[in-house]
């Protein structure tokens, strides 16, 4: 396989409701799509999940588009006999840029798998036709509003709920949700790196709410603080922002900084490294689940394929299309019995709704070999 051209599409997709985390509020998604065109006439899509600003990680969408155009796409386009497995090696001379690399790798992988007629789930080693999913609920102005929002999602059929927390919005909202929905609601929290060493004793009080896990309360490189919280709590600690590769994940587990891993392929440079991370975690008896970055149907399709692997034993942040977008870029994913079906068709297994893409398109750039 050889790439003949790559398009970088920028889209502006309004979110159906604002999403507030300790990083700030998002009301729309500035989406970057990588479209790979092959010499055999194939087309593959990869969604780059970098946020508009460098708050979740160093990457941001404008920078990712630049790095793809200037460095990553030319490095991959020069290759004859290209396969998705070669993308990480061809771009390894450029430090970091994992979300940009992941999007390019996924576009190549989608094209490759469509050509061979294999689904992404089958290629990765998925073993389930549908996967358990949950919903990630943003910070609200009041605790009453949070309880009402969670109630709405429960009515829609979400079985597992994740609450975003930050200093000043943690014990009270968690207690209220636990009280309103009872001890059987699978509930977890995500601090998105907003806490510091002085908060250790406070965070340990989350133990009384019977949570599934506490996700990334401290900064990405603060392994020691996560180890200390794990020592003080019986609730499992899960890492997100910290886990940038299979090797980093193994180190985090072995040092006791986490006993559960959130896997996001984009944070790790691609779906192939995500699969390796799944395998390493499984070897270390560490359950994993699939994180989310408010993906459109394209990224969601890939996440569903990943989440169908056997060690994804906890529900993922992979909600139905309607939780994010009024008009998704693919046929909408829907929730049935707390689960979403894994696409079966070749590659990502979805059809891109080009009419929707054209409607939300803000810019298009074509890179030729």
Active site residues: 164, 264
Among 110, 132, 228, 240, indicate the residue that binds ligand SMG (CB under 6 A): 240
Least CB distance to ligand SMG at residue 2 (A): 34
Q: Report the alpha-carbon distance of residue 7 to residue 206 in Å, rounded.
A: 46
Is 122:342 a contact under the CB 8 Å cutoff? no
Q: Which of 296, 262, 265, 271 is nearest to 347 (CA)?
A: 271
Structure token digits, residue 338? 């707390």
Shortest gap between Cβ of 261 and ligand SMG (angstroms)?
12
- Binding part of the chain for ligand SMG, among 27-35, 84-92, 106-114, 288-296 by CB under 6 A, reads 288-296
Q: Which of 105, 170, 190, 273 binds ligand SMG (CB under 6 A)?
A: 190
Q: Write the interaction track for ligand SMG spanning residues 104-143; mark x where CB under 6 A is met and - where it is not.
A: --------------------------------x-------
Q: From the CB of residue 49, how many other CB atoms can be counted at a distance below 10 Å?
A: 28
Question: Of these partners, Mg ion, ligand SMG, none, which one is at the site of residue 292 (CB under 5 to 8 Å by kind)?
Answer: ligand SMG
- Encoded tokens for 280: 């390493």
* Alpha carbon distance 40, 82 (integer Å): 12
Nearest residue (beta carbon) to ligand SMG: 292
How many angstroms separate the CA atoms of 29 and 201, rounded? 36
Contact 347, 119 (CB under 8 A): yes
Region of 109-117, 168-176, 250-258, 286-294 interacting with ligand SMG (CB under 6 A): 286-294
Question: Which residues have CB under 8 Å from 95's CB, separation 6+?
Answer: none
The reply on whether position 321 binds ligand SMG by CB under 6 A is no
Based on the shown chain and the rule CB under 5 A, indicate whether residue 105 belongs to the binding site for Mg ion.
Answer: no
Strand pairing class (214-215; 237-239):
parallel
Q: Mark 188-207 with x for binding to Mg ion (rule: CB under 5 A) and - for no binding.
A: --x-----------------
Interface residues for ligand SMG in 10-49 (CB under 6 A)? 21, 23
Nearest residue (CB) to ligand SMG, 37 versus 323: 323
Total residues interacting with ligand SMG, rule: CB under 6 A: 13
Contact 330, 350 (CB under 8 A): yes
For the bound state, the minimum distance from the C-beta of residue 291 to Mg ion, rounded and expressed in Å, comes to 6
CB under 5 to 8 A by kind: which of ligand SMG, Mg ion, none does 293 bind? ligand SMG
Give me 109's structure tokens.
């992988």
In terms of CB distance, is 73 or 294 closer to Mg ion?
A: 294
- DSSP label at residue 208: G
Which helix (H) or strand (E) segment holds residue 248: the answer is helix 246-254
**Of residues 21 and 97, the one with the C-beta less far from ligand SMG:** 21
Is residue 240 a contact point for Mg ion (CB under 5 A)?
yes
CB of 86 to ligand SMG, least distance (A): 29
Q: Which two tokens stand for residue 206?
A: 């989350």
DSSP codes, 284-347:
TT--EEE------HHHHHHHHHHHTSTTB-S-BS---GGGT-SS-SSSPP--BTTEEEPP-SSB
Name the site residues for Mg ion (rule: CB under 5 A).
190, 215, 240
The residues of the shown chain that bind ligand SMG, judged by CB under 6 A, are 21, 23, 56, 136, 190, 192, 240, 291-294, 317, 319
């Amino acid at each position: 396989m050889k790439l003949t051209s790559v398009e970088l599409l920028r889209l502006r997709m309004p979110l159906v409701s604002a999403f507030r985390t300790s990083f700030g509020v998002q009301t729309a998604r500035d989406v970057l799509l990588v479209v790979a065109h092959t010499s055999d006439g194939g087309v593959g899509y990869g969604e780059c999940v970098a946020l508009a600003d460098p708050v979740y990680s160093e990457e941001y969408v404008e920078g990712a588009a630049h790095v793809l155009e200037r460095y990553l796409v030319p490095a991959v386009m020069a290759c004859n006999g290209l396969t998705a497995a070669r993308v990480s090696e061809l771009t390894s001379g450029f430090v970091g840029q994992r979300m940009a690399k992941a999007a390019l790798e996924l576009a190549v992988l989608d094209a490759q798998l469509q050509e061979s007629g294999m689904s992404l789930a089958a290629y990765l080693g998925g073993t389930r036709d549908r996967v358990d999913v949950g919903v990630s609920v943003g910070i609200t102005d009041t605790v009453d509003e949070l309880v009402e929002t969670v109630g709405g999602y429960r009515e829609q059929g979400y079985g597992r709920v994740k609450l975003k927390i930050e200093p000043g919005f943690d014990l009270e909202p968690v207690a209220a949700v636990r009280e309103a929905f009872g001890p059987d609601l699978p509930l977890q929290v995500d601090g998105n790196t907003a806490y510091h060493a002085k908060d250790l004793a406070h965070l340990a009080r989350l133990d009384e709410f019977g949570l599934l896990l506490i996700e990334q309360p401290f900064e990405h490189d603060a392994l020691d603080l996560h180890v200390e919280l794990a020592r003080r709590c019986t609730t499992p600690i899960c890492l997100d922002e910290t886990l940038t590769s299979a090797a980093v994940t193994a180190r985090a587990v072995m040092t006791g900084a986490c006993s559960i891993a959130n896997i996001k392929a984009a944070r790790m440079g691609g779906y192939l490294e995500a699969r390796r991370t799944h395998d390493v975690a499984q070897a270390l008896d560490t359950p994993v689940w699939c994180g989310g970055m408010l993906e459109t149907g394209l990224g969601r399709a890939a996440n569903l394929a990943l989440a169908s692997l056997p060690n994804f034993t906890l529900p993922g942040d992979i909600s139905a299309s309607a939780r994010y977008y009024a008009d998704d870029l693919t046929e909408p994913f829907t929730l049935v019995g707390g689960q979403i079906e894994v696409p079966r068709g070749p590659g990502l297994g979805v059809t891109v709704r080009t009419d929707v893409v054209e409607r939300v398109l803000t810019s298009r750039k074509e890179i030729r070999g």
